[in-house]
A and B are shown apart, each in its own frame.
Chain A
Amino acid sequence: MKKLIYIFLINIFITNYSSALIEVDITRGNLDPLPIAVSPLHVDIKSEKYKEINVKELGEKISGIIEKNFKNTGLFNPLKKDAFVQKPDIAHVKPRFEDWRLIKAQALVTGKLLISGDKLKVEFRLWDLAAAQEMTALAFTTTPSNWRRVAHIISDKIYERLTGEEGYFDTRIIYVAESGPKTQRVKKLAIMDQDGFNTKYLTLGNELVLTPRFNPTNQMVTYMSYFRNMPRVYLLDIETGTQEVVGNFPGMTFAPRFSPDGKKIIMSFAKDGNSDIFTMDLETRLVERITEHSSIDTSPSFSPDGKFIAFNSDRSGLQQIYVMRSDGSNVKRITFGKGIYGTPVWSPRGDLIAFTKMHKGRFYIGVMRTDGTGERLLTENYYQEAPSWSPNGRVLVFYRETKSGSKGEGFSAKLWSIDITGYNERRLSTKTDASDPSWSSLLTK
């Protein structure tokens, strides 16, 4: 048993995939969230002190994060702990299923942890209370300072087991932190955990920065900066902090994103009043022109297989969304609805494109199939744009601005998220005003 706990991230118990077990359907809005009891993780009394961490409370803190993650999905209803009927250590070994059913729980999460020799060892189990059996279990070891991530990883595993799809909790969001009056906004790159914790600023705010986006491995970020009053696309290594300009363009480059293999950056280059789409291979430095049109072509986004590119262009008058092959051939307009369409972003699952729509002075975030059919508007507001996908393709994060008065009063910019079902719209907590969010992929797979 003890040996097994040392094995990082592998299932140690036999998992039962019987189809009779509970399942959560995430393909539609869930008005009847699954009641789930998250027992505090039992803290082994042999646990040693570690830096600033309050070891005694760690079990409750981790279960608290799991509960918050679940609540935010709108799919689960974490039950209040004061009704819990069993001590965490006993429940983890052998839950009394009847007692948990009495408090109307359908699923139960139990676990335990031990800090020893600068290592945090955690295991957890997910129980189906109606079927009176264990659904999944996992044990892993990490450094104690990673304890919040432990909670997110457990959340992901449970979400995956109950919904049949990957979770999105052990992820981060990079965004632009905003402060100051509307006419003199100070903007910094910021990164935080998906739940708003561990905010770090990556630039100082000396120059305007916009539209950061992660590479597939989440170590690099491409963004736009006005460093030395030269608006250009930059590449930033988050770990080392090194930055470089992408390419050597004689004018503004903007709207950058990575290709799905992370090898190229796709972006717009503006010259003489005309913006076209280009790619640059980060290894060979080879620059390729993708579109050549006298209109504004921008906001490019690759399909996850790398074969297609969605972008917006005003070649037909006002902004519309187009799809083309990744070499720029076979350009097809896909939006024909009333209004202006922009910021297409291909879902990581490949089946949908998220977009911003402007119509009669209102702004919408929506999704459509990749041929433009099946448009669904998810949310309407005074101003909102720039959707970014959760790694499992179920949730969109975007930013929303409010109206302001003659001195700029009342103005705010905040991050919001919404399920692609159109349900569960909620504001993400950020330390400052925020815009241009980009959601990472899962940090641990």
Chain B
Amino acid sequence: MTLKSNLKNILLVIFTTLLFSACSTAKKSADIEGDVYTGKETVEYLAAGVPDRVFFATNKSSLTTASRATLRKQATFLRKNKNLNVVIEGHADERGTREYNLALGERRANAARDYLMTYGISGKRLSVISYGKEKPVNPKSSPISWSQNRRSVTVKVN
């Protein structure tokens, strides 16, 4: 009998440990959704409530719902600041070949630019530059930092 209850206790301990560890991994990956970074750690702001960057999935340049919301805020901000021009930087993570990443960064920056243009911002105010994998914001070799590096950043020029 005692053996059985002991076993039960051990199993319970194992179970709770598993539960805790599951919780902690869940916490770590909470900032990634479907390979796209959703956290705020590296984000800067063009103005209060206007994030400067959006994030992408590996090898992708499509905009997520959250990215579109961010870009709409940028569009509103740019409409209010008519004399402001921006450059949109496109970036890739370090897990691809250099030349392809240059092209991928350019495609990402243009995805952001196109979206801003559909919200009425003149293309003349929006220039684009790709840095490929050359300018990571987070130097760590880990999935979370790669997701932070797959980004387009809207930077004020004047």
Contacts and interface: CB of A to CB of B under 8 A. Distances in A.
A312 B109 CA distance: 21
B140 A229 contact: no
B106 A298 contact: no
A386 B97 CA distance: 8
B97 A342 contact: yes
A390 to B, nearest CB: 21
Contact of B107 (A211, A268, A274, A386): A274
A361 B95 CA distance: 8
Contacts of A436: 98
Interface of B: 59, 61, 94-100, 102-104, 106-107, 109-111, 114, 128-131, 134-141, 145
B100 A183 contact: no
Nearest to A410: B141
B98 A319 contact: no
A151 interface: no
A296 B107 contact: yes
B103 A298 contact: yes
9 contacts: A183-B135, A183-B138, A252-B106, A270-B107, A298-B99, A299-B100, A343-B99, A358-B97, A386-B98
Contact of B139 (A255, A361, A382, A411): A411
A285 B70 CA distance: 43
Nearest to B111: A273
Contact of B99 (A211, A404, A435): A211
Contacts of A408: 139-140
B85 to A, nearest CB: 14
Contacts of B135: 183
Given A229-B129, A296-B103, A343-B97, A273 B61 contact: yes
Interface string A409-444: 001000000000000000000000001100000000
A385 B98 contact: yes
Contact of B136 (A182, A208, A270): A182
A181 interface: yes
Contact of B95 (A296, A383, A405, A407): A383
A177 B44 CA distance: 31
Contact of A296 (B100, B111, B138): B100
A318 B134 contact: no
A268 B94 contact: no
Contacts of B145: 406
A356 interface: yes
A272 B110 contact: yes
A332 interface: no
B139 A407 contact: yes
7 smallest CB-CB distances across A and B, nearest first, come from: A408-B139, A273-B110, A182-B139, A275-B103, A403-B141, A255-B99, A342-B97
Contacts of A407: 139
